[in-house]
Chains A and B, each alone.
Chain A
Amino acid sequence: MTVALSGKEMAGKLEAQFPASIIESSRASLIVKSEFLLRIAWYFKATPGFDFDYLSSITAVDYGNYFELVYHLVSLEHNHSLVLKTRCYERDEPVVPSLVSLWQGADFQEREIYDLMGIRFDGHPNMKRIFLWDGFQGHPLRKDYSDGT
């Protein structure tokens, strides 16, 4: 059984290393500030004992006053998982750091989020739409999206 690591416990471990980096933590997930995302993700990937070598899935949710990005990390070696999240409060030009430099599996998934949710990933090697065409207006998965009809 894949053991889901507690976000609360992880927050305790992170506090010393990255002070003031955590927005919220619960049993199910750990929410960090986006400016710390890349460093914290690297910490989880490279620290022995965590070894999160596998980024299972990335997605984004539009909660109205902020976007939440959800990263499902898995360690194939230890068979444990962690739900890491970050938030983006900007709506007009939302930007979060890209994780492609750590896990190339993020490539298409970040492009998908950019395409459908309109969040730009800083550091992505090929940040453009993936499903919709280049001239498409808007980002359909946003809650305030309207196609004008």
Chain B
Amino acid sequence: MALKTEHFVLNLGPLHPSTHGVFRLRATLDGEVIVDIEPVLGYLHRGIEKLAEGCTYKQNIPFTDRLDYLASMSNNLPYVMAVEKLAEITVPERAEYLRVIMVELQRIVSHLIAVGTFVQDLGAMGTPLLYMFREREKILDLFEMVCGQRLTYNYMRFGGVSHDIPDEFLPALAKFVDRMPGFIDEYDQLLAENEILLARTKGVGILPKDLAINISASGPVLRASGVKWDIRKADPYSVYDRFEFDIPTGSISDAYDRYRVRIEEMRQCVRILRQAMEQLPKGKVLTEVPLKLRPPAGEVYAHIEAPKGELGFYLVSDNSDKPYRFHIRAPALINLTALRQMLIGWKLADAIIVFGSIDICLGEVDR
């Protein structure tokens, strides 16, 4: 007589170290095999889009810091870009370069945490993550020099950035840029050919190219699926058209490719930083903008290639000092759409790996 079996529902999270925040996954299991999953979101929903409608344009800059709080600089940028487009504000060239320097440093920070926590989920407890936090610390020191903050920077302003860099910034940045490629080699030695990493990520969580496009994936998730699409190249903003860099892509579209793409992107960040430091012009860093900004009525969409993907702001102005509508295109939320199709048929242990390889930040997913 055959044993009667039935499916089993397991709640993963919202408080579980591998969920990288307050993410909950309801998995329906057949033994160890995933039959269906459903992400349950909203534990960190603060209603930022609604809050922003009640604050002036300038008051909203700190709100953007609190979206993807591991990449606050990158969140500031598309918002100020959107308002600048709406109100036709020009940005001094030096400020554009400073913005590029900050968001590229921020990309390194975000990828360091993405890769560090990803391998930690694989069982590489502590060592790689702490190596990566060591470099992250150096970048946070740089950020602290320019704006006094280490996590939520509130550095960018309409028409530029809040402060010019202090004298000690460029030497410290030069030192960092010189040493970083060596550190990336170090991670590679530690991880790239590690047998456990290879065994658990190669061929796991495959997201085929067509599906990646269809689910509107962006950032490293899209590029690891073999799509050469980077907004810095496809729709250059700020001064990105002046730099030479490559777009790393994957070929197998698995979790390992997503890991590789992030590592390679860090090398490209260093390349961009070098060029930006060489080209950095002198001059002022902020255009005069009225304290109570009232952009003309209209709508605007501005987007950038944030560490996690396409981060966009859609603003509607009714010529008052507050935005009429403030919408954030959150890459992490949309990348999560792929999770279900990547996981069905795989073992529960793989869910942690595949989820980690997407790299989300709940502050941005829930908003």
As a 0/1 sequence over residues 100 to 126 of chain A, the CB contacts with chain B under 8 angstroms (1 = contact) are: 000111111100100010000000000
Cβ-defined contact, A57 with B215, below 8 A: no
Cβ-defined contact, B329 with A2, below 8 A: no
Interface residue? B327 (CB, 8 A) = yes
Interface residue? B25 (CB, 8 A) = no
Cβ-defined contact, B325 with A104, below 8 A: no
A100 to B310, CA, bound (A): 20
Cβ-defined contact, B42 with A132, below 8 A: yes
Cβ-defined contact, A108 with B229, below 8 A: no
Contact residues in A for B299 (Cβ distance below 8 Å)? 28, 70
Cβ-defined contact, B215 with A61, below 8 A: no
Partner of B42, one of A53, A103, A109, A133: A133
A86 to B215, CA, bound (A): 21
Question: From residue B216, how far is it (CB to closest CB) to chain A in Å?
Answer: 3
The segment out of B108-116, B149-157, B192-200, B331-339 that lies at the interface is B331-339
Partner of B41, one of A53, A54, A61, A130: A130
**Count the A-B residue pairs with Cβ separation under 8 angstroms: how many?**
82
In the complex, which range does the number of interface residues on chain B fall in? 20 to 34
Question: From residue A13, how far is it (CB to closest CB) to chain B in Å?
Answer: 23
Partner of A56, one of B211, B227, B312: B312
Q: A1-B236, A61-B316 are in contact. Are A55 and B216 (CB under 8 A)?
A: yes
Interface residue? A141 (CB, 8 A) = yes
Cβ-defined contact, B301 with A72, below 8 A: yes
Interface residue? A140 (CB, 8 A) = yes
Cβ-defined contact, A54 with B50, below 8 A: no
Contact residues in B for A132 (Cβ distance below 8 Å)? 42, 45
As a 0/1 sequence over residues 3 to 43 of chain B, the CB contacts with chain A under 8 angstroms (1 = contact) are: 00000000000000000000000000000000000000110
As a 0/1 sequence over residues 57 to 83 of chain A, the CB contacts with chain B under 8 angstroms (1 = contact) are: 101011000000010100010010001
User: Who on chain B is nearest to A130 by CB?
Assistant: B41
Cβ-defined contact, B42 with A56, below 8 A: no
A106 to B217, CA, bound (A): 11
A130 to B365, CA, bound (A): 11
Cβ-defined contact, A56 with B229, below 8 A: no
Cβ-defined contact, A56 with B310, below 8 A: yes
Cβ-defined contact, A76 with B334, below 8 A: no
Cβ-defined contact, B42 with A54, below 8 A: no
Cβ-defined contact, B312 with A57, below 8 A: yes
User: Who on chain B is nearest to A111 by CB?
Assistant: B41
Contact residues in A for B234 (Cβ distance below 8 Å)? 2, 79
Partner of A105, one of B49, B215, B316, B327: B215
Question: From residue B31, how far is it (CB to closest CB) to chain A in Å?
Answer: 25
Cβ-defined contact, A76 with B337, below 8 A: no
A53 to B217, CA, bound (A): 12
Question: From residue B7, how far is it (CB to closest CB) to chain A in Å?
Answer: 18
Q: A56-B329, A70-B314, A131-B41 are in contact. Are A104 and B214 (CB under 8 A)?
A: yes
Q: A56-B216, A76-B229 are in contact. Are A108 and B49 (CB under 8 A)?
A: no
Can you spell out 29 A-B residue pairs with CB atoms less than 8 angstroms apart? A53-B213, A53-B214, A54-B213, A56-B303, A56-B329, A57-B301, A59-B314, A59-B327, A59-B329, A61-B316, A61-B325, A62-B325, A70-B299, A72-B314, A76-B213, A76-B229, A79-B234, A79-B235, A104-B337, A106-B216, A107-B337, A108-B336, A109-B334, A112-B333, A116-B50, A129-B42, A130-B42, A132-B42, A133-B42
| Smallest CB-CB A-B distances: 6 pairs | A105-B216, A131-B42, A2-B235, A57-B329, A131-B45, A59-B327
Tell me the A residues contacting B by CB distance below 8 Å. 1-2, 28, 53-57, 59, 61-62, 70, 72, 76, 79, 83, 103-109, 112, 116, 129-133, 140-141
Supplied contacts A54-B213, A76-B227, 17 more A-B pairs, CB within 8 Å: A2-B235, A55-B216, A56-B329, A57-B314, A59-B325, A104-B337, A105-B215, A105-B216, A105-B337, A106-B216, A108-B336, A116-B49, A131-B41, A131-B366, A140-B47, A140-B50, A141-B49
